[in-house]
Amino acid sequence: MVEGLKSGDGFEYLIQDPDDRCLGKILRRATIAHPERTCLIWNASRHISYGEMDSAVDRVVHGLKNRGVQAGDRVAVMSGNCPEYVFLIFALARLGAVLVTVNVHARGTQLAHILENAEPRLVVVESDILNHVREAVRSAAPAPDVMLVEGDEQGYDTVRMMAAQGHVDHLDHADPEGPRYNDLAQILYTSGTTGPSKGVMITHNQAYAFADYVSQAMELSETDIYYTCLPLFHVNAQISVLGSIMAGACVALSDRFSASRFWSDIAATNATAVSLFGAMAYILYQLPAESDVKTSMRVCWAFPLPYDIKEEFEERYGVRLLTAYASTEANFVAIGGLADELPSGAAGLVHPRFEVKIVDSDDRDLPFGSVGEIVTRPRDPWTMMAGYYRMPEVTAKAFENLWYHTGDAGSLTEDGHLYFVDRIKDVIRRRGENISSYEVEQVVTAHEAVAECVAVGVPSELSEDEVKIVVVPLEGATIVPSELIAWCGERMAYFMVPRFVQTVPELPKTPTGKVEKYRLGNDSSIGVLWDAQSGQPGNPTESVTLQGGVLIELSGHKGS
């Protein structure tokens, strides 16, 4: 076990009174210090000062209270990036309500489960996906109110309208108490492994600690402009916003990642700090040579860090790449700051506010250098998740033997460098999204031609994973992979839709009937493999039927 290493010796909470770590107070303090300074740049064009941001947040608080939202109520937000989303983050925090972040691409049973589990009083949604939410809340009891982020749908008021209405007094004057640092601030839904998506309960203090750690590691100051194009319904973008405002810096928020637009956005905003997923760094690295440019950017997070291109990327773009090992549940367990030189492949140095060890399948400690499961626990209260919302048994299992079990395999050196090796749990990482294999399997097995299905991750050309489903057809039924993929696309988030379909007569199982997934990941020698990217190897057939326990390849259908 490793504890208290050099990397975090300078990491300290900026506020000594724990109740001053409440998220709503972060913006207020920064506004008092410099109301005229730019707080938010939206899509490299719209500039919002700290004073304007603070006033807009108070107006949204006033509007939410008029809608009947009170402290402790849950408010689900299903929206892409926009200033109004940032207003909501701080408004709900000031009000003491709980933000429930929902992936904007959630659909069908996944979305219905989230809303049923969270039981929000209010759902705030983009107008473009209003119909999906209407369908999901139709069976909810009690049915939540629905409000739009923006738009002109008849009969709905919007967050944009709230933020633009007349002057209201600061909430601090009307409600001086506010939430406490250990009160629930957010429920953020992350992929399940052997079950549906789980709501991670995040306190104000955990969110504050998350932001504080990244702010300190990146050495953010009032002169920085932090660019993020990652979605605000993920914790990464939110801590970018919170950490920037905590440091009195500016946030440059974009609606999405675009490789062709990325460097022009950096130039237009003069961004100095950036967060990316590892796959995004690879995409930028693959741009043609004429895109090479030394920019204002000095530091960039990349998760996972692409060590094979790190040195050349840093030289090419004049930026320092940093990385860490973190999760929504556990915070920044290991981190590599500007002051640290990590050995190649390391995910970071164990943070001194956490204990970390590597254990075997029976939770017994393994020696340094051995590969096992990464487990951790915090030294300070309320810096790790408070549990999974309304899932006490799942929470207890996660904290078995008083350690949080990450479900990740890794190793640890005696000097405190943590290495991530692979996932143990059945979650697939694709383009920065965690995908529940369980939820993919639930959708696919509902298809009329499918008897059984297993979803696994296979290596991607851009790092992380691609999704492969291994399916067993019903006897006499025909599976047309292109039609099955199209069917999935209507019933799950786009990033969950499989790229590969492998049809097999039966799944490999243990004597107790458990599927041996480890045998299916990279094994294309059994069954018939189909690749949705046409023209790629592994696209040998167009449809498959199971007759008498034997796979029969058919013609007459074209794969997409």
For the residues of 344-379, what is the DSSP string, one character each? TT--EEEPTTEEEEEE-TTS-B--TT--EEEEEEES
H or E element that contains 264: helix 259-269
Instruction: Count CB-CB contacts under 10 A for residue 75.
Output: 24
How many CB atoms within 10 Å of residue 518? 10
| Residues of the chain falling short of pLDDT 70 | 1-16, 140, 153-155, 166-177, 191-195, 289-293, 422, 425-427, 462-463, 509-514, 518, 522-525, 527, 534-542, 544-560
Q: Residue 201, CB half-sphere, CA atoms under 13 Å: how many? A: 18
Measure the CA–CA gap between 459 and 429, rounded to whole angstroms: 10
The reported pLDDT for the residue numbered 63 is 93
Find the radius of gyration of the CA atoms of the chain: 24
How far from chain centre, in Å, is Cα 459? 20
pLDDT for the residue numbered 465: 82
Find out whether 557 and 545 touch, Cβ atoms under 8 Å.
no
Strands 320-327 and 478-479: unpaired
Q: What is the pLDDT of residue 375?
A: 97
What does pLDDT average to over the chain?
A: 85
* End-to-end CA gap in the chain: 50
CB-count burial class (<10 Å; 0-12, 13-18, 19+) for 74? buried
- CB neighbour burial string for 156-195, b if at least 16 within 10 angstroms, e if fewer: eebbbbbbeeeebeebeeebeebbebbbbbbbbbbbbbee
Does the domain at residues 50-179 carry the CATH identifier 3.40.50.980? yes
What is the SS3 assignment for 550? Answer: strand
Question: Under a CB-based contact definition with an 8 Å cutoff, are residues 385 and 206 in contact?
Answer: yes
pTM, rounded to two decimals:
0.78
Per-residue pLDDT at 17: 84
Q: Domains of the chain: which residue ranges?
A: 50-179, 427-554
CATH of domain 427-554: 3.30.300.30
- Name every residue whose Cβ is closer than 8 Å to that of residue 533 and which is 6 or more positions away in sequence: 499
Distances in Å between the Cα of 89 and the Cα atoms of 25, 56, 104, 281, 320 are 12, 12, 16, 28, 30
Strand stretches in 413-533, DSSP E:
417-423, 427-430, 433-436, 450-459, 465-473, 478-479, 500-503, 528-531
Exposed/middle/buried for residue 231 (C-beta within 10 Å: 0-12, 13-18, 19+): buried
| pLDDT for position 554 | 60
Quote the pLDDT of residue 548: 61
Answer whether 366's CB lies under 8 Å from 374's CB: no
For position 334, what pLDDT does the model report?
94
Query: Minimal CA–CA distance to 21: which of 261, 149, 207?
Result: 207
Phi/psi of residue 488, each to 5°?
A: -65, -40
Tokens coding 17:
């009174």
In order of 76, 102, 415, the CA distances from 126 in angstroms are: 12, 12, 48
Class of residue 14 by CB neighbours under 10 A (exposed 0-12, middle 13-18, buried 19+): middle
Contact assessment for residue 55 and residue 87, using Cβ atoms and an 8 Å cutoff: no
The confidence score (pLDDT) of residue 58 equals 94
